[in-house]
Amino acid sequence: MSDISCPAPAQSLLKRGDRTARRHAAEARFRACGLGAILIGLAALAVLLASVLTSGLGAFRQSYIHLPIHLSEAELDQSGTRDTEVMKKVTTIGYGKVIDKALAEAVAQAGIAIDGLTDDDISGIISREAAAQVRDMVLSNPDLIGETIDLSVLANGRIDGYLKGRVTAESAALDSNVSPAQLQLADAMMERGLLSLDFNAAFLTAPDASDQRPEAAGLGVAILGSAYMMLIVLALALPIGVAASIYLEEFAPKNRLTDLIEVNIANLAAVPSIVFGILGLAIFINFAGLPQSAPVVGGLVLTLMTLPTIIIATRASLKAVPPSIREAALGLGASRMQAVFHHVLPLAAPGILTGTILGLAQALGETAPLLLIGMVAFVREYPAAPPEGLFDPASALPVQIYNWTQRADPAFVERASGAIIVLLAFLLVMNAAAILLRRRFERRW
Partner 1 sequence: MSAIWTLLTLLILAALGFALGRARALASAGGDIRALHSLPGHYGWATVLFTLVPALSLLALLTMAAPLTPAGTVAVVALALAALAWSLRRIAPDFRARRTVERGVLVLLVLAACVAIATTAGIVLSMLFETQNFFAQYGWRDFFLSTTWAPRFQGNSDLGILPLLWGTLYVSFIALVFAVPVGLFAAIYMAEYASRRFRAIVKPGIEVLAGIPTIVYGLFALITVGPLLRDYFAQPLGVGSSGSSVMTAGLVMGIMLIPFVSSLSDDIIAQVPQSLRDGSLGLGATRSETICQVILPAALPGIVGAVLLAASRAIGETMIVVLGAGAAAKLSLNPFEAMTTITVKIVSQLTGDSDFAAPETLVAFALGLTLFAITLCLNVLALAIVRKYREQYE
Q: Which of 84, 120, 267, 441 binds partner 1 (CB under 8 A)?
A: 267
Contact 208, 222 (CB under 8 A): yes
Residues numbered 4 to 23 that lie near partner 1 (CB under 8 A) are 23
State yes or no: residue 183 binds partner 1 (CB under 8 A).
no
Q: How far is CA 50 from CA 45, 46, 47, 389, 417, in A?
A: 8, 6, 5, 37, 11
Report which of 213, 240, 391, 206 is spatially closest to residue 311, judged by C-alpha positions.
Answer: 240
**Of 24-32, 67-75, 130-138, 165-173, which segment contacts partner 1 by CB under 8 A?**
24-32
- Residue at 62: amino acid letter: Q
Interface with partner 1 includes 246 (CB under 8 A)? yes
Interaction pattern, residues 291-310, with partner 1; x per rule: CB under 8 A: -------------x--xx--
What is the smallest separation between the CB atom of 288 and partner 1, expressed in angstroms? Answer: 7
Q: Which of residues 328-357 bind partner 1 (CB under 8 A)?
A: 335, 337
**Using an 8 Å Cβ cutoff, are 385 and 231 in contact?**
no
In the bound state with partner 1, the residue whose beta carbon lies nearer, of 26 and 104, is 26
Is 201 among the residues that bind partner 1 (CB under 8 A)?
no
> CB of residue 219 vs partner 1: minimum separation in angstroms?
14
Give the residue from 12, 11, 94, 64 showing the smallest Cα distance to 202.
64
How far from chain centre, in Å, is Cα 431?
15
Q: Which residue in 368, 382, 407, 437 binds partner 1 (CB under 8 A)?
A: 368
Interacting span for partner 1 (CB under 8 A) from 73-81, 127-135, 223-231, 238-246: 238-246
62 DSSP β-pair partners: 198
| Smallest separation (angstroms) from partner 1 to the CB of 171 | 17
* Residues in 153-182 at the binding interface with partner 1, rule: CB under 8 A: none
Q: Which is nearer to partner 1, 209 or 246 (CB)?
A: 246
Cα–Cα nearest to 66, from 188, 189, 164, 206: 189
Residues 64-103 that bind partner 1 (CB under 8 A): none
Task: Select the residue interacting with partner 1 from 372, 394, 411, 422 (CB under 8 A).
Answer: 372
Q: Measured between alpha carbons, how far is residue 8 from residues 2, 21, 162 in Å? A: 18, 21, 82
- The residue among 167 and 357 lying less far from partner 1, judged by its C-beta, is 357
Instruction: For residue 103, give the nearest of 198, 214, 194, 187 by alpha carbon.
Output: 194
CB of 187 to partner 1, least distance (A): 28
- Could you tell me which residues are beta bridge partners of residue 149? 69
- Interface of this chain with partner 1, residues 411 to 440, rule: CB under 8 A: 413, 416-417, 420, 423-424, 427, 431
- Asked if 199 interacts with partner 1 (CB under 8 A), we say no
- Asked if residue 57 lies in contact with residue 415, where contact means CB atoms within 8 angstroms, the answer is no
Residue 50 or 108 having the CB closest to partner 1 = 50
Contact 157, 215 (CB under 8 A): yes
CB of 355 to partner 1, least distance (A): 14
> What minimum distance in Å lies between the beta carbon of 276 and partner 1?
8
270 binds partner 1 (CB under 8 A): yes
Q: Which stretch binds partner 1 (CB under 8 A): 75-83, 105-113, 184-192, 366-374?
A: 366-374
Of 421, 409, 419, 417, residue with least CA distance to 160: 409
- The correct pick among 371, 378, 382, 437 for binding partner 1 (CB under 8 A) is 371
Stretch 27-66 residues interacting with partner 1 (CB under 8 A):
27, 30-31, 33-38, 40-42, 44-45, 47-48, 51-52, 55
CB of 401 to partner 1, least distance (A): 5
As measured in angstroms, the least distance from the Cβ of 393 to partner 1 is 15
Q: Is 365 in the site for partner 1 (CB under 8 A)?
A: yes
Contact window for partner 1 (CB under 8 A) among 87-95, 196-204, 205-213, 384-392:
384-392
Residue 247 CA to residue 314 CA, distance in Å, equals 11
- Nearest C-alpha neighbor of 342 from the set 357, 354, 326: 326
Does the footprint of partner 1 cover residue 286 (CB under 8 A)?
yes
Among 240, 312, 316, 347, binds partner 1 (CB under 8 A): 240
